[in-house]
Structure 1
Amino acid sequence: MCGRFTQHLSWSEIHRLAGLIGRPRNLPPRFNIAPTTSVEVIRPAAEGGAELVPMRWGLVPSWWKKPFKELPATFNARAETVAEKPMFRSAFKSRRCVIPASGFYEWTGAPGSKTPHYFTAPSGEPLAFAALWEPGTHPETGEPLVSTTIVVGPANGWMACFHDRMPVILGWRDAEAWMRGEDPSALLKPPPEDALREWVVSTRVNRAGSGDDDPDLISPAAASPAPPAEALP
């Protein structure tokens, strides 16, 4: 699963990694992104290259007409069924994108006493989540709405001690092939064992919607070993 992640990104870095076009803009740091909020998404641009677009996290199919409260959870799409599920198959066929993430959270332990962990690249470089996007209209207001979902698959061996699922993390060199290629299914695989680092963080992150701009949320908790300096923002 991937139910919470961070984006503290610079335009210049994402431009370098993804070949963005368009005018640079400030990207406010986000340290506790929850489903249904807006996230930054990289998608193919009509004139070539890629563009960075804000989208609702939680895909809303263009044919969905019922109220949001009846929409099932669509912030993740399972890699094993994404090509067949009615919610996602059209987007998987022709609207693939990448969500740049500074890191993501996962929890371990029993209900009521879960421990939050933060995962990020050892180099500090943004992660590239395989994702899908969908154009449409808000089912209740009729206003234009663009939405997205993160593709998740089985955990690699290293991640399995924390959770049995994880986001599909692409190498940046594979981002173009994912978004425009003819065989996207070939990229739906776990990342290398050394793709991530982890440390325990404060339970403050459990409160979705609180402290979205607080970098202390990703600081190591007192009992957690400190990550290498290059992994911190």
Structure 2
Amino acid sequence: MCGRYQIDDEVSVEIRSMIEKIEQKTAGVTLKRGEIYPTNLVPVWMPVNGQPEPEAAVWGFPGFSGKGVLINARAETVPDKKTFRACMEQRRCVIPASGFYEWDTGKNKIYFRNPHEEVLYMAGLYQQIDREVRFVIVTTQANASMLDVHNRMPLLLRKEELKDWILDERRARGMLAQEPYPLEKFCEFEQARLPFL
């Protein structure tokens, strides 16, 4: 699962450049920075005229019966599940982030990031709904660096895989089964457990 992530455009030149390009070409659009929540408007890489281009998109497909939003899609089921099948075939995107958050069983908020790069890239699917681009993050089974916190994590892509994920359906389907690379984790605060008096 991935329910929050971070965009730090002060650290990442790539993400800052994406945001500036989107805001310049789309008058009146301001993208969210910092901690990203579902329904925020953020930068993603999408196919435009046969090339990956930065575009603005809202995190979350509308939920069933108009309630809430769907924010994740399981890599194991996206090729077959009705909600995501057409997106997997034709509408794949990449979500750049500085890192993402998950909560452990003690309700401690843990931050995960790529130890070797300023940006990590999460595989996504998108659709257009009422003139608005909406996306979900594809998740997979957790690797060893994540497993003690949660059993799911985003499907991570390496920079050299972005174009294939977005533009090449056959290769993208192969990426659904790959294990994400190891991550670093940080816990800023630990939940205090106080005994009853």
Q: TM-score, normalised by structure 1?
A: 0.69
The CA deviation at 1:31 is 2.4
The CA deviation at 1:28 is 5.9
Q: Which has the higher strand share?
A: 2
Q: In the alignment, what sits opposite 2:173?
A: 185
Q: In the alignment, what sits opposite 2:42?
A: 39
The CA deviation at 1:109 is 2.0
Which residue of 96, 104, 115 maps to 1:108?
Answer: 104
Unaligned runs of 5+ in 2: 25-29, 191-197
* Residues 99 and 92 (structure 1), Cα distance of their counterparts in 2 relative to 1, 3 Å cut: same
Q: In the alignment, what sits opposite 2:195?
A: none
SS in 2 for 1:148: strand
The CA deviation at 1:60 is 4.0
User: Aligned AA for 2:8?
Assistant: H
Q: In the alignment, what sits opposite 2:193?
A: none
Mean CA deviation greater in 92-101 or 28-37: 28-37
Q: In the alignment, what sits opposite 2:55?
A: 53
Which residue of 80, 88, 95 maps to 1:84?
Answer: 80
The CA deviation at 1:44 is 1.4
1:8 aligns with 2:4: no
Which residue of 125, 128, 136 maps to 2:121?
Answer: 128
Q: In 1, are the aligned partners of 2:41 and 2:56 still within 8 Å (CA)?
A: yes
* Residues 43 and 154 (structure 1), Cα distance of their counterparts in 2 relative to 1, 3 Å cut: same
CA RMSD of aligned residues (A): 2.7
Q: In the alignment, what sits opposite 1:222?
A: none
Number of residue pairs matched by the alignment: 182
* Residues 201 and 135 (structure 1), Cα distance of their counterparts in 2 relative to 1, 3 Å cut: same
The CA deviation at 1:15 is 9.0
Write the distance in 1 (CA, Å) between the matches of 2:5 and 2:137: 11
The CA deviation at 1:191 is 1.3
The CA deviation at 1:13 is 1.8
Q: In the alignment, what sits opposite 1:149?
A: 136
Write the distance in 2 (CA, Å) between the matches of 1:44 and 1:200: 36
Q: In 1, are the aligned partners of 2:31 and 2:43 still within 8 Å (CA)?
A: no
Q: In the alignment, what sits opposite 2:27?
A: none
* Residues 92 and 122 (structure 1), Cα distance of their counterparts in 2 relative to 1, 3 Å cut: same
The CA deviation at 1:89 is 0.8
User: Aligned AA for 2:53?
Assistant: E
* Residues 89 and 8 (structure 1), Cα distance of their counterparts in 2 relative to 1, 3 Å cut: same
Write the distance in 2 (CA, Å) between the matches of 1:9 and 1:129: 17
User: Aligned AA for 1:7?
Assistant: I
